[in-house]
Amino acid sequence: MKKIEAIIRPEKLNDVKSALEDGGFVGLNISHVTGRGAQKGIVHSGRGGETYTVDMLPKLKIEVVVKDADADKVVDIVSGAARTGNIGDGKIFIIPVEDAVRVRTGERGEVAV
Amino acid sequence: MKKIEAIIRPEKLNDVKSALEDGGFVGLNISHVTGRGAQKGIVHSGRGGETYTVDMLPKLKIEVVVKDADADKVVDIVSGAARTGNIGDGKIFIIPVEDAVRVRTGERGEVAV
Amino acid sequence: MKKIEAIIRPEKLNDVKSALEDGGFVGLNISHVTGRGAQKGIVHSGRGGETYTVDMLPKLKIEVVVKDADADKVVDIVSGAARTGNIGDGKIFIIPVEDAVRVRTGERGEVAV
Amino acid sequence: MIDSGDTAWMLMSTALVMLMTPGLAFFYGGLVRSKNVLSTMMHSFIVIGIIGVLWVVVGYTLAFGPDAGGGLIGNFDYFGLKDVGQEPGPYAPTIPHLVFMVFQMTFAIITPALITGAFAERAKFGPFLLFMAVWSLVVYAPIAHWVWGDSGWLLEYGALDFAGGTVVHINAGAAALVAALLYGKRRGYGKDPMEPHNIPFVLLGAALLWFGWFGFNAGSALGANGVAANAFVVTFVAASTAMVTWVLLSWQLNGKPSAVGAAAGAVAGLVAITPAAGFVDTMPAIAIGVGAGAFCYGAVQLRIKLKLDDSLDVVGVHGVGGAWGAFATGIFAVATVGGGAGLIDGEASQMGRQLVGIGATMGYSFVMTFIILKVIDKLFGLRVSDDEEEIGVDAAQHGERGYVFEIGGTGFVGIPEAAAEPAASEAPAPAGSGGGGL
Amino acid sequence: MIDSGDTAWMLMSTALVMLMTPGLAFFYGGLVRSKNVLSTMMHSFIVIGIIGVLWVVVGYTLAFGPDAGGGLIGNFDYFGLKDVGQEPGPYAPTIPHLVFMVFQMTFAIITPALITGAFAERAKFGPFLLFMAVWSLVVYAPIAHWVWGDSGWLLEYGALDFAGGTVVHINAGAAALVAALLYGKRRGYGKDPMEPHNIPFVLLGAALLWFGWFGFNAGSALGANGVAANAFVVTFVAASTAMVTWVLLSWQLNGKPSAVGAAAGAVAGLVAITPAAGFVDTMPAIAIGVGAGAFCYGAVQLRIKLKLDDSLDVVGVHGVGGAWGAFATGIFAVATVGGGAGLIDGEASQMGRQLVGIGATMGYSFVMTFIILKVIDKLFGLRVSDDEEEIGVDAAQHGERGYVFEIGGTGFVGIPEAAAEPAASEAPAPAGSGGGGL
Amino acid sequence: MIDSGDTAWMLMSTALVMLMTPGLAFFYGGLVRSKNVLSTMMHSFIVIGIIGVLWVVVGYTLAFGPDAGGGLIGNFDYFGLKDVGQEPGPYAPTIPHLVFMVFQMTFAIITPALITGAFAERAKFGPFLLFMAVWSLVVYAPIAHWVWGDSGWLLEYGALDFAGGTVVHINAGAAALVAALLYGKRRGYGKDPMEPHNIPFVLLGAALLWFGWFGFNAGSALGANGVAANAFVVTFVAASTAMVTWVLLSWQLNGKPSAVGAAAGAVAGLVAITPAAGFVDTMPAIAIGVGAGAFCYGAVQLRIKLKLDDSLDVVGVHGVGGAWGAFATGIFAVATVGGGAGLIDGEASQMGRQLVGIGATMGYSFVMTFIILKVIDKLFGLRVSDDEEEIGVDAAQHGERGYVFEIGGTGFVGIPEAAAEPAASEAPAPAGSGGGGL
Ligand SMILES: Nc1ncnc2c1ncn2[C@@H]1O[C@H](COP(=O)(O)OP(=O)(O)O)[C@@H](O)[C@H]1O
Ligand SMILES: Nc1ncnc2c1ncn2[C@@H]1O[C@H](COP(=O)(O)OP(=O)(O)O)[C@@H](O)[C@H]1O
Ligand SMILES: Nc1ncnc2c1ncn2[C@@H]1O[C@H](COP(=O)(O)OP(=O)(O)O)[C@@H](O)[C@H]1O
């Protein structure tokens, strides 16, 4: 199995979620991260002349664990749905998963994901 | 070493934490995720007829890095403590870890976890 | 490629970020976790005699995906910058990454990180 | 002659009504998404600023200056508050003219602020400011003159509006309908969830509105007298009734008694009793409250069905609630309370006069707001760009974000402990970073 | 005859006391876990709704109607506010009867709301509503009649209660004790941490309570006079003193000066001075404040030891604070302040009369609350299910959640910058999603 | 003789000014980082406690007791409020002496609380308490005596200060400058971002301050009269004007109209109008407001350039705003408003007298605050340790944290649904954990 770890723009979440569902991939987890990359941050201003450039931007991390065979398909779905073509679109990482367990039943292996 | 990544119900946290401690596994990390799976979401209602079905539910991700030899034991402890038998109990993933470092001392390898 | 997953003290974030940047590693993700380890928690007090020892402490998780060749360098940078020498300094884990994709362009492999 | 008791009450009422606008900022601010909380709150706050200057210079004289002809608008006699001083003026014989003026200023402030709920989460700041300023002079001031001003035509005609059912609520509701249509729907409306981000703020806003409304309605008696007492009581009772009505309806029809519904219901009741407060008895106030809860709840449901993005339900609550209240005044007014008589006091024709007041206000507000917004849209554009809407109006328009909960500020998970020991004695205090126990 | 100054003050006092109940909602709401914030706040808000209707229909006449016999309860003469109008009534000669009625309504509202702290985070909404309504008529109205009503037996007997030490606080405290026992402990009580989720809200609640309490106590003089002035001052001083006392005790005994302790201490002082406010001088008010801080702090510690899940310490603060204040009135009252004399004014027997007042209130409230809750529990069940408690009462009972801090709303980490450049000029503005700089 | 209307207004004004200090707690609390919110709010709250006791015992007599000689300080005649009772005192003939005393108490409370913005996020709690108590008696009480007390030298000399421009704002501003210097910069100042963590709280604070300021300024007329009306109106207008001015400046010069700027601007306007409120007409109030917005905005920018860590801009807003207002009083006062005459009323010399008042206050406050803080620093240390600062002052000094947003309380992401079905009917209800639909 593989864990597909995708860092995406928050505003692309709904697109990515729907695309995955359409592709038959329902199970997933989302968490908030702040990321730094080539992309510039937002400038925040204070009372007077004070401004802050926030060098990190809010991103979402989507994690989907899939059978080895599905890995490329999921990568394509996510990268298609998350793309805007601008700097800051994010990354997808593919990480090996040795085993998986469904807590409810104790089943292990590919049936569990 | 292995990283045991368990997605559990938030209300099972204390049970899982205690069970791990009893089993001799103190070190761990927890983070908030929102997960989608077979389980249905909660319906939230607004002022008038508006309702939202939230298709994602709050879950906790527990990460424990352990020696290869302990991996199965930890999986059993977590899956035993987190189980309710209902849809939505969560998943456990086992991910290979190539090396570990204790920041305080710089020690590497299994002694560091 | 490797994913360097470092659990550090929140107050060390700026040091670690700068050190990584100085070393040429700009891209990274940060997320909030709460960790349990050897370190003791903070005692919180309530209205009257009630106090809570929080057995978990806020930590930051920094994730950097790098070429295989850079892994050790990043580990050294982070562990150097995050160290105070006291219990609770955190851990660094090295996890294999099979592939990476830059969403913006679709590029894969080491060029994408 | 100045009466110190009346003056004390009117000073206090003015402060109370002033507080309603920040209250509204919290009511509205809590209902939007967290990325738009500041821009939504600024809508209300900055209106206090703009109208707080405009009114003393020119708004007051347009609304309450001696009639310029036909009961349509005031002349410029009070321009820059000329002759508006510490002595009583023509509208209230026992309080300084300045107090009457500033009491009215708070009404002139909250009315445009109410409209802003219709276009929350998508308005460009500059054009919005212009809209508020122009609307205040072109729509609010004339209508205030018609209903309350020197020889105002609706006043002369006999339409009853004790504290602003037409001038404030119907007026704002009609303008909000236009604004919702012209601003257009928020991106993702009907698709993405747009849940309130901070319901305790909504409740805070409702509480401050309710508190301030005592000044709004009982202050409209212009003194600390029996009519003020009556207005105070019926205001309280109608709000309570409408809150309970709305909660029960949401329970029955949506399955759960909603906290946002409690807040919305209370406001609906306050709106509906406003025109009636100095004219009706307490038991009819219960009827007005039940009607307010039911009609406004229904209006909001209809609005949802029609997919109209009147984002914070200004039309359903203020438009419909105000209209119901103004009409109900024609039913329930009894002369023994405040001098006006309606259906139950044998004066069925009053209902007709109320309808004229409602219709005139609605029509004028609708048309003029349409023109103003169309022109501003042509010249400057009303909405932020799609990107800015996605990022959030706070960051995009104001360069700020509402909340920054820092590292360590959230997300703790812990276990309780019986002993009452201070932290330091329990943990081996590390020498370096972390101090006592961390 | 109506005095405009007295009326102004009483209208304002009523508004102030009304605001206390939302204040309480924040005080209580901040103390619970975030998943129960709305249900806890709704406990207070919805009570404003229910009692706001019940009181004008029947509650007022039960409490303040002409005595039905024996000083135990009022008759139905004021049913539906019949004969309660703009002219002064029998209780206050210089203000409209309606104002006295609505001032008392705010007391009738906050008293049951106080009890809700005992069963926060686990109550089922429907049965809770029933409890509040029944309790108001069966427990509150009679006790109000005894102490303040026409020929009330405690009034005739000579027990002193200026602004509600017995009627409001001891009464609510006794009912809270019963409720805490009958509702039972929250799941995980004593095991899981149940830290306050929003202490700034606790402080907001305390501030609004304090602010409103000026109306509660100084308004109980029923006019803007010397007694009101005295009540205002001693209220302020007792609250200040008790706040400092509690903070110092928590510092000494728990190791850290607690912010929640400051809020709780202030409320304890306000409770304790309530029965005494129109009877004691300022220096004794300091003594009352010190006592309030110390006794209530001790009571809370005892409650923790006994593992009684009176979740938000209604018994410890209102029950104990109210009893101390009522008793202290018997010690410190001097006739020159408000007419009543206690121990230091040579009237030692007053302490006995105070004890009778305390005991009668406690006993009646305890027994009747027990019966009401037992019956409701049998018929409908008091608590939510275990699952609902785990998920949170907000989602389970109200279908809402307090906060939704959106993606991007939290978790930023950044670096400051000297230059004051707008964002757009710094970043290559991407054409697509992200706009100026994102 | 006591006038009930004047008394009603002064009781209410006192309550309003009391509420300003919690308002300040939110204004300041919202501006700091989330890990320091409680300690910052406690700075204000605990001052209500300490000064609320100190003032009645000894502060009042030092400030307002019969002159002890030279117009420098009061004697001990009113020690423990001896002879301060329900009858009018020497300062206000129509209200109880106790009311005047407690009105002044609220001023004595907020003034030291204002200073705390200069050292937020780094002060040790114990030494801070000592500072507040000593400062109140050694700095505040004498200056209050000079300006408002019996035969106070600045009063006799003819410096005009209607409601506290010198006594409150310039005084606090000067002390804040000393405090910022002696406490030193926060760790990471100028390097780490120190963004406000909760801007809605900042707006809440600004709203409560504004609301309360009506009592501050219009209450300073000591009755419900024409001068109170004038003070009320100009207060409103100056705040509105300064808010708009600051927002426009931040828009022009920083690129975005800031919400924090709106709050800061409003406060700047309120500060500046304070000394002038009972002396100037409405149109000059607009000028004062524009000046306040511009000068204070500029002062804050200068402070940033100078890298002075006056963390919440007490010097820039209260010091500079107060000085501008006091000087402007010398320009715009006209005798027809409140008796004092300035430049535009032909009395150019008044500007000189105003400068003397400003200078004397600044100098005395500066020197005395320096001495007090130096001594306390020597004896106990002013700051928390570096570790404690890093962890956050809330956890370190108070053992509490502001917010605990629980698991499940945040972070949801969802989709909307058209149908209004209750949850239970949609999901197969699982038997175990999770209940209806979860
Ligand atoms: N080496 C890396 N390791 C982990 N995450 C990264 C890395 N580089 C970038 N990221 C994540 O991807 C996001 C987008 O990267 P960025 O360089 O801005 O855009 P792009 O991928 O389009 O070139 C970053 O905000 C960060 O969250
Ligand atoms: N393929 C997956 N990859 C990652 N996380 C998953 C995946 N499938 C499920 N999850 C996580 O597990 C949780 C429980 O899954 P669900 O299908 O509802 O229950 P169960 O595992 O009991 O069948 C989900 O909410 C999600 O957080
Ligand atoms: N086995 C583990 N797996 C995952 N994270 C761990 C593990 N052990 C420790 N951690 C993380 O590292 C942090 C520091 O660990 P701790 O034992 O307190 O200090 P140290 O590493 O200095 O001995 C913990 O708070 C936790 O976040």
Residue F418 has pLDDT above 70, yes or no: no
Cα–Cα distance measured from residue D357 to residue D342, given in angstroms and rounded to the nearest whole number: 15
Among D420-429, E72-81, E112-121, E298-307, which is the least confidently predicted range? D420-429
Pairing of strands B28-36, A91-96: unpaired
Buried b (16+ CB within 10 A) or exposed e, F242-280: bbbbbbbbbbeebbbbbbbbbbbbbbbbbbbbbbbbbbb
F4-380 is a CATH 3.30.70.140 domain: no
Kindly provide the ipTM of the predicted complex, given to two decimals. 0.92
- Which residue in D403, D405, D287, D391 sits closest to D343, CA to CA? D287
Residues of F in contact with B12 (CB under 8 A): 433
Non-local CB neighbours of D378 within 8 Å, separated by 6+ positions? none
Average pLDDT over residues D97-116: 98
What is the per-residue pLDDT for C41?
62
- Ligand 3 pocket list (CB less than 6 A): B 27-29, 63-65, 102, 104, 113; C 7, 35-39, 57, 59, 87-91
User: Which residue's C-alpha comes closest to atom 25 of ligand 1?
Assistant: A35
- Which residue in F77, F50, F72, F180 sits closest to F119, CA to CA? F180
Q: What's the full length of chain B, in residues?
A: 113
Confidence of residue F228 (pLDDT cuts 50, 70, 90): very high
Q: Mind giving me the DSSP string for D162-195? A: SSSIIIIIIHHHHHHHHHHHHH-PPTTTTTS---
Residue F406 has pLDDT above 80, yes or no: no
Average pLDDT over residues D153-158: 98
Domains of chain E by residue range: 4-380
Average pLDDT over residues D364-389: 96
Q: What is the CA radius of gyration of chain E?
A: 23
Confidence of residue F192 (pLDDT cuts 50, 70, 90): confident
Cα–Cα distance measured from residue A25 to residue E273, given in angstroms and rounded to the nearest whole number: 65
- Kindly list the distances between the CA atom of residue E400 and the CA atoms of B48, D256, D317, E42, E396, in Å, as whole numbers in the listed order: 13, 9, 21, 12, 8
Average pLDDT over residues F32-55: 97
E98·D262 Cβ contact <8 A: no
Give the rounded percent of residues in chain B with a pLDDT score beyond 70.
Answer: 86
With vertex at residue D359, the alpha carbon angle to CA D356 and CA D363, rounded to the nearest 5 degrees, is 140
What chains are in contact with E, requiring at least 3 Cβ pairs below 8 Å?
A, B, C, D, F
What is the per-residue pLDDT for D414?
26
D420·C11 Cβ contact <8 A: no
* Residue C2 parent element (H or E): strand C2-8
Chain B interface residues (partner E, CB cutoff 8 A):
11, 14, 42-45, 51
Mutation pick for ligand 1 pocket among C3, C16, C28 (CB with most ligand atoms within 8 Å): C28
Residues of C in contact with E193 (CB under 8 A): 44, 52, 54
Average pLDDT over residues E237-243: 98
Question: Which 3 state secondary structure label does DSSP give F316?
Answer: helix
* Number of domain units in chain A: 1
Is F390 an 8 Å CB contact of chain C?
yes
Is D194 an 8 Å CB contact of chain E?
no
Chain C interface residues (partner E, CB cutoff 8 A):
13-14, 30-32, 43-52, 54
Cα–Cα distance measured from residue D125 to residue D144, given in angstroms and rounded to the nearest whole number: 26
pTM, two decimals, is 0.93
Among C87-91, D429-433, F372-376, which is the least confidently predicted range? D429-433
Per-position pLDDT tens, chain B of length 113: 999 999 998 878 888 999 999 999 999 999 888 888 877 666 666 565 566 666 677 789 999 999 999 999 999 999 999 998 988 899 999 999 999 999 999 999 999 88
- Which residue in C42, D415, B102 sits closest to F387, CA to CA? C42
Cα–Cα distance measured from residue F240 to residue D51, given in angstroms and rounded to the nearest whole number: 8
User: Which residue's C-alpha comes closest to atom 27 of ligand 1?
Assistant: A35
Residue E75 has pLDDT above 80, yes or no: yes
Specify the ligand 1 atom closest to the Cα of C112.
Answer: 21
CATH number at residue B50: 3.30.70.120
The distance of Cα D44 from the centroid of its chain, to the nearest Å, equals: 10
Amino acid (one-letter) located at F202:
V
Determine whether E212 is exposed, middle or buried from the number of CB atoms within 10 Å of its CB (0-12, 13-18, 19+).
buried
> Which chain A residue lies closest to D388 (C-alpha atoms)?
A11
Mutate to test the interface with C, among D412, D413, D415, D425 (most CBs of C within 10 A): D412
Residue F330 has pLDDT above 80, yes or no: yes
Q: How far off is chain B from D193, nearest CA to CA, in Å?
A: 7
- Kindly list the distances between the CA atom of residue B18 and the CA atoms of B30, B81, F70, in Å, as whole numbers in the listed order: 14, 9, 73
Amino acid (one-letter) located at D103:
F
The token duo for E139 is 């427990």
> With left for phi above 0 and alpha for psi between -120 and 50, is residue E313 left, alpha or beta?
left
What is the per-residue pLDDT for C36?
86
Specify the ligand 1 atom closest to the Cα of C65.
Answer: 3
C32·E196 Cβ contact <8 A: no
Mutation pick for ligand 3 pocket among C5, C7, C89 (CB with most ligand atoms within 8 Å): C7
Ligand 2 centroid to residue F161 C-alpha, Å: 69
